[in-house]
Amino acid sequence: MAQQRINPVFRTLNRPLTILGAERKLFFFAAMMGAGVFNLLKTFFGGILMFFALYILARWATKTDPQIPRFVLNSAKARTEYDPLKFAPIEVKRLKNVQA
């Protein structure tokens, strides 16, 4: 009987790279949107408010599933598949005694 082989798995390889608990791309997006609101509205409070709102959303998304940004960005490229909620039945008629 062959001896069972054990491969070590390191937890750090499977952990998403985060900044303050949010995935890096989402954190960067929150920071850039906060800076954009600050530049657009010329209000520091608005920029901070936008950053914290998006930061909280980014932390929730990272905690739920770290791959959410990849799914969202790739969903636009995927073609529409069968959706049972959008089912439209097709009427089929049979012709009787058709001679060829």
Contact 9, 15 (CB under 8 A): no
pTM, whole model, 2 decimals? 0.61
Query: Is the model's pLDDT at 83 over the cut of 90?
Result: no
- The percentage of residues in the chain with a pLDDT greater than 90, rounded to a whole number, is 34
Higher pLDDT, 76 or 46: 46
22-23 and 18-19: which strand pairing?
Answer: antiparallel
pLDDT in tens, 12-53: 666 778 889 888 888 999 999 999 999 999 999 999 999 999
Q: Bridge-partner residues for 23, per DSSP?
A: 18
What's the confidence (pLDDT) of residue 70?
79
Q: In this model, does residue 100 exceed pLDDT 70?
A: no
